[in-house]
Amino acid sequence: MLTRHFRRAIAIGAVLIMTTTLVLAGGAPANAVQLEVTCVGTSSGTMTPGLTYTPQTVQISTNLIYSPCVSTDPTLTAATSGSVSSFVGASCLMLPFVGSGSFTLFWNNGNTSTFTFNAASAIVGGLIVLTRTGTITAGQFQGATAIRTVTYPPLNPLECRTTGVTSNIGVIALSVTTI
């Protein structure tokens, strides 16, 4: 069953990135948009305490692995990133991660990229879709536009009612483009 969610999540993520890339091009000639890097991968998150239907302060730790990547830089084939954040009023009923922020991508070639973003979230076909759209503000690909979408399966309602949801695994789609 999780495999079916992953396949659907990858398809939704790919469509979101392709659509956003076309919107960024704004009708410009196809050669005006340079795709610098595109990656897929997985995101694993842990919640302490577990998410329930009762709002509470929850620490959410994420570990993201971007692999494989295809890039204009042939030495770049993978990346990692992660975060630890506390959310006040977190619950199984809220859409998480709205706002702005930044994180660092650690590329396998030893370089880094700082991604400064605006975040949005939505429920699409029952899946939780977290989208970050912004700019690479430092490091490799500085000045490029970046979009990262992480798609998670729905939270388990039984866990939300009892022990709490303590982990979730999603799929990543990342693209970095210059115009």
pLDDT (tens, 9 = 90+) of the chain, 179 residues, equals 444 544 444 444 444 444 433 333 444 455 567 999 999 999 999 999 999 999 999 999 999 999 999 999 999 999 999 999 888 889 998 876 678 999 999 999 999 999 999 999 998 998 999 999 999 999 999 999 999 999 999 999 999 999 999 999 999 999 999 98
At residue 10, the pLDDT reads 46
The distance of Cα 133 from the centroid of its chain, to the nearest Å, equals: 10
Identify residue 156 by its one-letter amino acid code. Answer: N
State the Cα–Cα distance between residues 24 and 33, nearest whole angstrom.
Answer: 8
- Does residue 49 have a cis bond before it (omega within 30 degrees)? yes
At residue 96, the pLDDT reads 63
At residue 97, the pLDDT reads 65
Host H or E run for residue 10: helix 2-25
- Does residue 68 have a cis bond before it (omega within 30 degrees)? yes
With CA atoms as reference, report the closest residue to 40 among 70, 68, 59.
68
pTM above 0.75, yes or no: yes
Can you give the residue ranges of every domain in the chain?
2-178
Token reading at 14: 């790919």
